[in-house]
Each structure stands twice: as structure tokens, then as C-alpha cells.
């Protein structure tokens, strides 16, 4: 059977990270894969774009389809994950098509709770969503460089099967977080919401030998969910479940829109 | 009457931009102002954080209260708007309090429609929201360096009055965009939603004299709203209205959460 699906892959740990290599190999089982990945790690870049400097581009690899695997082309860009997703989409558009799927990851580290706000992994997924491409961010809950990806590949594959079969609502992308435990200890998949939390004590203040003050960003995660709160993604992952949060690219709060219109007596 | 309100100000055009100076002077009419602004322009930085390098810090100005104006302290940071908002909040927390209001801007250029996704101005407002601080991003619809801010100050002041009097729903921040037209030509204030749109043709491809390929990000805005679509923020601003969009820091799509749970037969 000819592989006709086209899949765009990026990440925020950079193209040399283990997670994107493992993901790419898995996705070649689904179709032809185009990787446009940041040349350097880009953690915490959110949906940021590179507007004030040029982005260098390189062709790293081109491999034909064969042995039941789709073709592979790998490019790098000195940009953010959102830049990379945009470039990948533009490469496809120049070929007169769009990819059938965008997958960003496998991120080394959780993107649950407030991490979803800062995540470059998900920033790339936002870009796919703006083009109507079903887009998934995939993360494993450890910063280890070479973790056991068996559970991630198994459950990630299950979720990609569902997305390819059923699609996702337009304007929505999925944030999938997978516990970093052996595959047979994972308790299953749960739909989830963005759990409440934030980082506190974020600044390590130092003074250099010239008397200049500077800060390193650090911080401790403060969980703002009560114990036993249902559906919070970071709690589910901590409890051994794979969490799937559907996030919206349109972040309007429609209820508050109506409430303020009435409260402030504004015309339509 | 003693000024007791505490207001945190930042922006994404950098501390030397005209917009933040004009805003700061206006806000000193409301209370004591602390500015933590990026040292360099930071457009398109979304909610990105600086995790991989230190951020240099400087004290630019300290002015006491007087003449009916609150005190002013101005700091700069070689970071993003979200970094600056975080540092400002941490400065207040070290003093045992939180600011009563966070205002980010006045941004030179619209942050309506898809610009809200990439906006560093709003990235700072997200940070305030995570700390429960009423947070407003304020933008004027022109990139001119020294535009006529009369309408922005008048309508921005009106909206800040409302926010200080009534608050905003927790977890929500306001994206205010103001037409760059004379004050008396502005047609009024409208509540709005994030209008549908995106950038296309984003890459200018070049080759340097060493044969290396690189890209500059450019792009044309593609309006995805039909003519006459109600409540789209960029249409309202183009029509001469001030638009206010309430955005959510929790971007979960709760409807799609339930639909996928049912569709994919997932347990709670």
C-alpha cells in the first residue's frame, strides 16, 4: 500500500534531541514525514516568532520511502518552534498541499498545567491549527535525555490513530502528556483540562564582578488545584494516566465578553 | 488624597518607546507606578520566557510622588515582556503585596485578531492574570513612533477606570485595541472577540555569498472573517471603534473535551 499521508514534525528541544528522532521513526509508519526543527533548544518560547533577525536554514537529511516506512526529509532552522511550523507549512504550500497532521515533540518534560502557556512544543501546534491542520503536542514527563519511550510511543500512536481517523474540531489542538513510567504501569488515557498552577520565586538574583545586577529564571511550581480535583492534567499524569487536553487557538472568554458588555453598558 | 494604588507597567516595544512613557505618565494619575520594561524591542515574543541565559537588570529612574501624581520607579531587563511582568510581580511580592493593576503597552501596532497569539504585550498580561492581578494590554493601531495618543489615553483611561472599579473575572485579561485616528473621530467602545485571521507567505528566502540559505519572516495578513461579521476585534478597530477582547489564560476547549471523551470512549 502506498503511503500517501504527509506529516509535519517539529519540537522545541532542537533537532538533535532524542524525542524527535523517536517520534519521526514512529511517524514514518504512518506516511511521509517532513521535519523542520529548531537548530538549538527552544524551551519556553511559547508562540514566539523571530522577527528581528534572519533564520539560517539547513538540509540535514533526505531519505526515500521503503521497508514499509514513508520518506523522510529533515531541515533545521535557527528559529522557534512556531517559526519551524510556519516554514514547514510554507514548504508544503509551495508543493500545492498541506500536511495531514502536525506533531510536535516528543518533548522532554511535561507540558501539563501552566507549562502549556510557555510551551514551544504547543506554540508549533498553534501554527498548525491556524492552517486547519490537526495538530498534536506530545510530551513525556521527564527531562532525561534518553528516557524509556515505550509508553509514549504506544499511547501516542493510539491517539494519533484516533486523530487521523476522526479529526479534531477546527481551531483546537491537543496537548498530550505521558507519564515517564514503564508502559505496562500506565493506567490508561484520560481527557483533561489545563490544570491550575503557576511558578513562584522565579528569580535568582546575582551581581557580577563589575557590580552589574542580573537574574537567572528558576522558580518552583505551585499547584493551585485542590487534592482530588477532577480532570486536572498534571494530576492525572502524576497519577499514571496519559492526559489529553484540547486547547483553543481562539482564547476569547465569551461569557466574560457578554458580562462586561452588560456591566459596562456597551452597545453591540 | 493619598495615592495608594500600585500599578505595574511593561510593554514589548522596550522602555525607550514613546507608548510606555505616555502610558506611565497617565497611570501616575491613578497611583504609584513601577515599570519593568524590556531593554530592547520584543515584538512577537508571545508568553516566551528567557530560560537559557541571564537577564541583565538596571535601575533607570526613581521619582517621588507629588503634584497629584504617584511615585515612579523604572527598571529595565534584557528579557521578554513576560519575564518583565514576572520580575515586577516578584518585586512587589518581596514588598509583601501585589500590584492592583498591570498594564502592558501602549503597543505601537494592533494586537487584534491573530496578532493576539504572538503578542508580547499580551504575554505580559497573561503573567499578571496567573497572579490574580487585573491585567490589560493596550495597543494603538499604528507602528508610527510618535503617533497622536489622545484617543488612546482618553478611551484607555475610561477602560482602566472600569477595571479598577469592577475588576475582571479571575483568569481573564483584556486586549484593548484603539484606532490611530483623532480622538473625536473614534466612534466608541465595543466588546469584541478575537477575530479570525492569520499570516500567509511568511518567508523571504535569501542566499548569502557563502551559499547559506536563510529566511526573514515577513507575511501578509489574511482576514478570515466574512464582511459584516459581528464582534471581530480587527473589523471593529478598522471601523473606528475601540475593541475590548477578554482572553482566557486557561485555553482548554471544554466542549471538545467532552466530545472527544465520548467519541473515544474514555473513562472519567
pLDDT tens-digit readout, B152-165:
999 999 999 999 99
pLDDT one-digit tens code per residue, A21-61: 999 999 999 999 999 999 999 999 999 999 999 999 999 99
The x, y and z cell numbers of residue A90, run together, are 510554507
Which residue matches cell numbers 514512529?
Answer: A26
What is the per-residue pLDDT for B4? 84
| pLDDT tens per residue, range B52-97 | 999 999 999 999 999 899 999 999 999 999 999 999 999 999 999 9
- pLDDT at position A132 over 60: yes
Map residue A22 onto helix, strand or coil.
helix
CA B109 centroid distance within chain: 11
Task: Enter the C-alpha cell of residue B185.
Answer: 473621530
Calculate mean pLDDT across residues A67-74: 95
pLDDT reading at A1 higher than 50: no
CB < 8 Å to B50, chain A: 44, 217
B4 in contact with A, Cβ within 8 Å: no
Find the CB nearest A162 among B83, B166, B264.
Answer: B264
Confidence tier at A228 by pLDDT (50, 70, 90): confident
Query: B213–A58: do the CB atoms touch at under 8 Å?
Result: yes
B57 and chain A: CB distance < 8 Å anywhere? yes
Q: Mean pLDDT throughout B155-179?
A: 97
Tens digit of pLDDT for each residue in A98-124?
999 999 999 999 999 999 999 999 999
Phi, psi of A53 (to 5 degrees): -155, 160
- Can you give the pLDDT at residue B89? 98
Give contacts of B 94-133 with A, CB under 8 A: 114, 116-118, 120, 123, 126, 130-131
CB contact under 8 A, B54 and A247: no
Residue B228 is predicted with a pLDDT of 86
Confidence of residue A4 (pLDDT cuts 50, 70, 90): confident
Q: Look at residue A3 in the predicted model and tell me its pLDDT.
A: 45
Question: How many other CB atoms are there within 10 angstroms of residue A60's CB atom?
Answer: 13
Q: Is the pLDDT of residue B10 over 90?
A: yes
CB count in 10 Å sphere of residue A219? 16
Amino acid B201: pLDDT: 93
Cell matching residue A93: 504550500
Question: DSSP 3-state helix, strand, coil percentages of chain A (rounded to 5)?
Answer: 30, 30, 40
When CB atoms are compared, the residue of B54, B191, B202 closest to A261 is: B191
- CA-based torsion, A170, A149, B48, B255: positive or negative: positive
pLDDT at B1: 47
Q: Span B216-238, mean pLDDT?
A: 96
Query: pLDDT tens across A142-171, in order?
Result: 999 999 999 999 999 999 999 999 999 999
> Which residue in the block uniquely carries the three cell numbers 472519567?
B268
pLDDT of A231 > 60? The answer is: yes
Count the neighbouring beta carbons within 10 Å of the beta carbon of residue A56: 15
The mean of the pLDDT values for chain A is: 97
Cell numbers placing B244: 475590548
| Residue numbers in A near B193 (CB within 8 A) | 250, 252, 254, 257
Q: In angstroms, rounded to a whole number, what is the distance separating the alpha carbons of residues B204 and B214?
A: 8
Domains with residue ranges and CATH for chain B: 6-195+227-263 (3.40.1210.10)
Amino acid at each position: 500500500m502506498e503511503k500517501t499521508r504527509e506529516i509535519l514534525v517539529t519540537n522545541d528541544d532542537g533537532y538533535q534531541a532524542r524525542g524527535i528522532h523517536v517520534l519521526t521513526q514512529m511517524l514514518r509508519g504512518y506516511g511521509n514525514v517532513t521535519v523542520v526543527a529548531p537548530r538549538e533548544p527552544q524551551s519556553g518560547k511559547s508562540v514566539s516568532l523571530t522577527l528581528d533577525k534572519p533564520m539560517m536554514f539547513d538540509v540535514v537529511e533526505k531519505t526515500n520511502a521503503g521497508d514499509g516506512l514513508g520518506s523522510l526529509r529533515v531541515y533545521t532552522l535557527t528559529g522557534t518552534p512556531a517559526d519551524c511550523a510556519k516554514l514547514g507549512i510554507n514548504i508544503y504550500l509551495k508543493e500545492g498541499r498541506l500536511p495531514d497532521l502536525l506533531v510536535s515533540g516528543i518533548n522532554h518534560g511535561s507540558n501539563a498545567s501552566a507549562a502549556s502557556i510557555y510551551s514551544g512544543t504547543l506554540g508549533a501546534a498553534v501554527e498548525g491549527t491556524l492552517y486547519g491542520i490537526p495538530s498534536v503536542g506530545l510530551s513525556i514527563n521527564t527531562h532525561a535525555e534518553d528516557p524509556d519511550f515505550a509508553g509514549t510511543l504506544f499511547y501516542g500512536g493510539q491517539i494519533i490513530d484516533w486523530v487521523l481517523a476522526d479529526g479534531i474540531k477546527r481551531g483546537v489542538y491537543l496537548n498530550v502528556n505521558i507519564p515517564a513510567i514503564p508502559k505496562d504501569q500506565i493506567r490508561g488515557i484520560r481527557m483533561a483540562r489545563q490544570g491550575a498552577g503557576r511558578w513562584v520565586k522565579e528569580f535568582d538574583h546575582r551581581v557580577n564582578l563589575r557590580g552589574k545586577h542580573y537574574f537567572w529564571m528558576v522558580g518552583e511550581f505551585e499547584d493551585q488545584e485542590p487534592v482530588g480535583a477532577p480532570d486536572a492534567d498534571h494530576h492525572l499524569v502524576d497519577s499514571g494516566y496519559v492526559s489529553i487536553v484540547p486547547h483553543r487557538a481562539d482564547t476569547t472568554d465569551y461569557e466574560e465578553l457578554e458580562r462586561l458588555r452588560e456591566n459596562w453598558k456597551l452597545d453591540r
